[in-house]
């Protein structure tokens, strides 16, 4: 990621454009409200994705992701972002007490497919970033933000590797993933002070 690039978004190898599973996966819907969230098991790993319409132009929404490293405070789900290198970030995610926060180290790439803007990340295993006390590392965390223009707004698909790790109880996974999918989109919409809707 260069100086104008991000993530939260949320990605040592180059992230492929298809790092996140697509429509071919057997997605199961967790909820339709306040945004649609789905999860699937792909290659033995949990993956989730959420969808929402942000009432702001794609160029502005894209810039919010490109500049996330500089304004982490705008993303409520993010505790901090450390810049490891031009395209590698260390990101700490806020989890509600008494749970430990989570963190990950990832290499990000930005690309375009037609009118879509893609921000893709994969784990970076070359950066030597210690794990802070009270934080659980997510070593496999990967995913993609896909932005598509829709009228004056931006249709957003946020896909992420859904491992939670740590002492989180399995019975809470579904609720946690629904919350994560919504909060990621809400944070992105809030950077534009824009409305977020399910369609």
Domain extents for the chain? 30-197
Q: Is pTM, for the whole model, over 0.75?
A: yes
Average pLDDT estimate for 76-84: 92
DSSP labels, 77-144: TEEEEEEEETTEEEEEE---TTSPEEEEEEEEEEEEETTEEEEEEEE--SS--PPPTTEEE-TT--EE
pLDDT of residue 168: 86
Task: Give the pLDDT band of residue 197 (cuts 50, 70, 90).
Answer: very high
Q: How far apart are CA 156 and CA 145, in angstroms?
A: 7
Mean pLDDT taken over the chain: 89
Q: How far apart are CA 198 and CA 51, in angstroms?
A: 7
Other C-beta atoms lying within 10 Å of the C-beta of residue 9: 27
- Better-predicted residue by pLDDT, 117 or 128: 117
User: Which among 64, 102, 104, 57 is positioned nearest to 84, based on CA atoms?
Assistant: 104
pLDDT of residue 16: 42
Q: Which residue's entry shows tokens 């893709």?
A: 120
The fraction of the chain above a pLDDT of 70, given in percent, is 90
Encoding tokens for residue 107?
Answer: 């290499």
Phi and psi at 176, nearest 5°, equal -65, -40
CATH number of 30-197: 3.30.530.20
Handedness of CA 111, 113, 117, 119 (dihedral sign): negative
Average pLDDT estimate for 96-100: 84
Task: Give the pLDDT band of residue 9 (cuts 50, 70, 90).
Answer: very low
Average pLDDT estimate for 10-34: 73
């Amino acid at each position: 990621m260069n100086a104008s690039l991000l993530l939260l978004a949320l990605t040592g190898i180059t992230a492929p454009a298809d790092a996140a599973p697509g429509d071919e996966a057997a997605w199961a819907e967790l909820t339709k409200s306040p945004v649609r969230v789905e999860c699937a098991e792909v290659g033995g790993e949990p993956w989730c994705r959420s969808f929402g319409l942000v009432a702001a132009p794609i160029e502005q929404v894209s810039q919010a992701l490109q500049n996330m490293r500089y304004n982490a405070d705008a993303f409520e789900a993010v505790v901090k972002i450390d810049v490891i290198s031009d395209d590698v970030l260390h990101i700490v995610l806020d989890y509600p007490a008494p749970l430990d926060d989570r963190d990950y180290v990832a290499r990000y790439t930005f690309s375009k497919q037609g009118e879509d803007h893609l921000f893709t990340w994969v784990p970076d295993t070359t950066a030597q970033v210690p794990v802070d006390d009270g934080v659980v590392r997510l070593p496999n965390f990967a995913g993609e933000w896909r932005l598509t223009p829709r009228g004056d707004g931006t249709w957003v698909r946020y896909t992420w590797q859904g491992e939670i790790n740590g002492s989180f109880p399995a019975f809470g996974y579904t609720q946690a993933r629904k919350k994560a999918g919504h909060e990621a989109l809400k944070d992105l919409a809030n950077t534009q002070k824009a409305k977020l809707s399910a369609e």
